[in-house]
């Protein structure tokens, strides 16, 4: 199996890469603006990709693969160019290249416009707006076999290996758990076309993913 990870040097993406590096059965392509920062591993091939580039340049950069995990983000610094337009360009390029399985890391509330509208919008309103339109594009303007993962607040804590998928039971989610779930979703097609809420929970990750089918 061949998997592309976009945003391979970010908080979540780097964790996904480290976990996939221990999976010799998977050929991994690690896409980043600075691919030299991707740790070396026998089954990991870093490649340069810049979400500011044109769609055609991005398409040219993408390796041949069957699955893609999108974890890129600007940390609130470049929301339109990276979190929104960059994500859409990746979708278009992947579809044109025949990379049809697309797992999108999004956020709790990304598809709830009331959170970023009205008199008291969320402090993350601009981020959620960018994610909203990226997620909407994925769902309504592509033929990609998508899954959108909406975790609660990401925290740098050791992963418990136990989560809640399909509803929220806590206000935080460990990055390690998110990485495990993203990989599991990419490996299984049971969640195609689904928007999945995620938080720390009590169900082991493999069982939680199996229960999505």
* C-alpha span between 144 and 146 (Å, rounded): 5
Instruction: Supply the DSSP string of 47-111, one letter for each residue.
Output: EE--TTS-HHHHHHHPPS-SEEEE----TTSSIIIIIIHHHHHHHHHHHHHT--EEEEE--TTTT
pLDDT, tens digit, for every residue of 118-149? Answer: 888 999 999 999 999 999 999 999 999 999 99
**Beta-carbon contacts of residue 197 (< 8 Å; ≥ 6 apart):** 108, 150, 164, 165, 166, 167, 168
From first to last of the 213 residues of the chain, give the pLDDT tens digit. 999 999 999 999 999 999 999 999 999 999 999 999 999 999 999 999 999 999 999 999 999 999 999 999 999 999 999 999 999 999 999 999 999 999 999 999 999 999 988 888 999 999 999 999 999 999 999 999 999 999 999 999 999 999 999 999 999 999 999 999 999 999 998 899 999 999 999 999 999 999 986
Alpha-carbon distance of 152 to 2, in angstroms, equals: 28
Q: pTM surpassing 0.75?
A: yes
Place of tokens 């976990």: 19
Q: What's the domain count of the chain?
A: 1
Q: Residue 206 belongs to a domain with what CATH number?
A: 3.40.50.720
- Smallest CA-to-CA distance from 189 within 159, 146, 158, 157 is with 146
* Domain of residue 199, residue span: 2-211
Residue 124: DSSP 8-state: T
């Amino acid at each position: 199996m061949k998997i592309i990870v976009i945003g391979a040097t970010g908080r979540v993406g780097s964790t996904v890469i480290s976990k996939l590096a221990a999976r010799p059965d998977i050929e991994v392509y690690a896409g980043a603006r600075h691919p030299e920062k991707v740790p070396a591993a026998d089954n990991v091939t870093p490649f340069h990709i810049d979400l500011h580039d044109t769609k055609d340049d991005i398409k040219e950069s993408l390796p041949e693969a069957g699955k893609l995990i999108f974890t890129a983000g600007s940390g609130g610094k470049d929301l339109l160019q990276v979190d929104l337009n960059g994500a859409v360009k990746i979708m278009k390029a992947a579809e044109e290249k025949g990379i049809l399985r697309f797992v999108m890391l999004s956020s709790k509330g990304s598809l709830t416009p009331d959170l970023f509208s009205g008199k008291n919008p969320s402090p993350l309103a601009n981020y959620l707006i960018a994610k909203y339109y990226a997620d909407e594009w994925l769902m309504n303007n592509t033929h990609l076999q998508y899954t959108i993962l909406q975790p609660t607040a990401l925290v740098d804590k050791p992963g418990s290996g136990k989560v809640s998928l399909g509803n929220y039971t806590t206000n935080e989610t460990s990055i390690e758990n998110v990485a495990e779930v993203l990989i599991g979703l990419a490996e299984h097609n049971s969640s195609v076309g689904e928007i999945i809420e995620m938080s720390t929970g009590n169900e082991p990750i493999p069982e939680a993913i199996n229960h999505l089918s």
